[in-house]
A and B are shown apart, each in its own frame.
Chain A
Amino acid sequence: MTTTVAIALGALWLLVIALTIAVFALARQIGVLYERVAPMGALMLDDGPKVGEQSPVFNLTGLQGESVEIGQPDSHGRLVFFLSPTCPVCKKLLPVLRSIADTEAAWLKVILASDGDEARQRKFYAQFDLGRFPYVLSTELGMSFKVGKLPYAVLLDESGTVRAKGLINSREQLESLFTAKELGVESIQQYLQKA
C-alpha cells in the first residue's frame, strides 16, 4: 500500500514539475515570438538602409544648437549611437563610447541620438556630462534606421555608406562594428559563417 502511494506521489510531483517547466518555456517562447513579430509589421513599410547602402541624409540640430549632418559625404565617418535615459545598458556603454571617440577621432564623429521628453534628455545629458558629443533628438532618424531595441548603433563611413549596424549589448559588440568595417563584412557573424 505504502509503495503504491509513494510511487503515485512521486510520479505526480515529477509530472507537475515537468508541466511547470513546459509552461515556463512556452511563456518564454511566446515572449520571443512577440519580439520577432513586432518588426515584421514594419517590414512592409521599409527595411531601413542595408549595410553597403547609402544612408538617408539628415540635417539635424543638437541639444546645444550644434548642427549635425548624417549621411552626407564628409571628411569623417559617423557612429550614430541610439540611446535613451532609461536604458541601463546605454549608460554602461558611455565610457566605451568616450574611448572610441578618442581612439577613432582621426576619421570618426560619434553622435548620440534619442527621442522623447526633452527635459529628461537634457537632465541625462548634463548628468553624464555628454557635452563632447553631438546629441540629437529625432524620431525620424530612429525610424529610418528601423531602430527597435536600444542601445543600437549605426556605423557610416566617410562617404555616408552604412558599414555596420546592430543592437549593442556590450563593449565587445560595439567594437565588433569596427572589426566588421575593417573586414568589409556586414557583421562578424556573417564573417565567421564564411570562414
Chain B
Amino acid sequence: MSPDVVIQHALAAAFAAMFTVGALQKLSDREAFAAAVDNYEIVPGALIGVFAWLLPLTELTAAIALLLPSTRPLGAALALVLLFMVTLAIAINLVRGRADVGCGCGGLEDEQLLSWPLVARNLILCVAMLPLLPEAAGRGLHAFDYLTIAGGSLTLFGLYATASQLIANRPRLARIRPAR
C-alpha cells in the first residue's frame, strides 16, 4: 500500500529541510566537522578529510532527490542508509562509553553531545522515512492539499528541531541537578 501523495510531499519536504540545514552547517565549518568525525574514532585518519566532504554532499544530494517526486524513492533510500550509518556510529561510541563526544550533526539546536535519546530520535526518523520508499499513487492536488503540505512540512521540521534541542538540553540539566 503506498501512502497518499500529500503525506509524501510533506514528509519529503521536512526531511529535505533537515538534511539541507545539516549539510550547510557541516560545510560552513568543515574543520570543526572533520574534528568531530575524528572524535568518533571510526573513520581512519587518512580518510577524514574526504569523509568530511563526502557526508555533507551526500546529505545535500539526498535532500534534492527527496524534493523531486521522480527521484524521491531513490533519495529516501540514500537518506535512510545515511541516517542509519551515522546512528550506528553514535551507538558504537555510546557502547564504548563515550558520551562526552560532540555529535557534529549540525542542526538548529545548540551543541549536541552523543546520547541514547539521540539514537532513538534517529530511529524514529528512519521509520518516518519508510513511507517515502514506494512510488506514490498519483492524484490531482486540490488547493487544500498544498496547505496541508506547507503546514505539515513546516510543523514536522519544527518538531524535529524542538526534539533535538530538548535532547541537547539533557546533559546541561544533569549538570545543574544537585548530586544525590
Contact = CB atoms under 8 A, between A and B. Distances in A.
Interface of A: 5-6, 9-10, 12-14, 16-17, 20-21, 23-24, 27-28, 30-32, 34-35, 37-38, 41, 85-92, 127
Given A6-B143, A27-B166, A31-B110, A88 B104 contact: yes
Interface residues of B, number: 36
B141 interface: no
A31 B165 contact: yes
- Which 7 A-B residue pairings sit nearest by Cβ, starting from the closest? A13-B151, A20-B158, A88-B35, A34-B172, A91-B35, A27-B165, A31-B169
Contacts of A13: 147-148, 150-151, 155
B39 A31 contact: no
B31 interface: yes
B173 interface: yes
A27 B169 contact: yes
B8 to A, nearest CB: 18
Interface string B142-159: 011001101100110011
B168 A21 contact: no
Interface in B118-169: 143-144, 147-148, 150-151, 154-155, 158-159, 161-162, 165-166, 168-169
6 contacts: A6-B147, A17-B158, A34-B176, A35-B172, A38-B175, A86-B39
Contacts of B38: 91
A30 B144 CA distance: 36
A16 B151 contact: yes
Nearest to B32: A88
B147 A27 contact: no
A38 B172 contact: yes
Q: Counting chain B CB atoms within 10 Å of each CB, which of A21, A27, A35, A87 scores highest?
A: A27
Interface residues of B, dominant DSSP: helix
Given A21-B158, A89-B35, 8 more contacts: A6-B144, A17-B151, A17-B158, A27-B169, A34-B172, A34-B175, A91-B35, A92-B32
Interface of B: 31-33, 35-36, 38-39, 45, 98, 100-102, 104, 108-110, 143-144, 147-148, 150-151, 154-155, 158-159, 161-162, 165-166, 168-169, 172-173, 175-176
Contacts of A91: 31, 35, 38
Interface residues of A, dominant DSSP: helix
B158 A28 contact: no
B161 to A, nearest CB: 5
Nearest to A149: B111
A92 to B, nearest CB: 5
Contact of A24 (B104, B143, B165): B165
A23 B39 contact: no
Contact of A41 (B100, B143, B166, B176): B176
A89 B172 CA distance: 19
Nearest to B114: A86
A38 B176 contact: yes
A31 B159 contact: no
Contacts of A14: 151
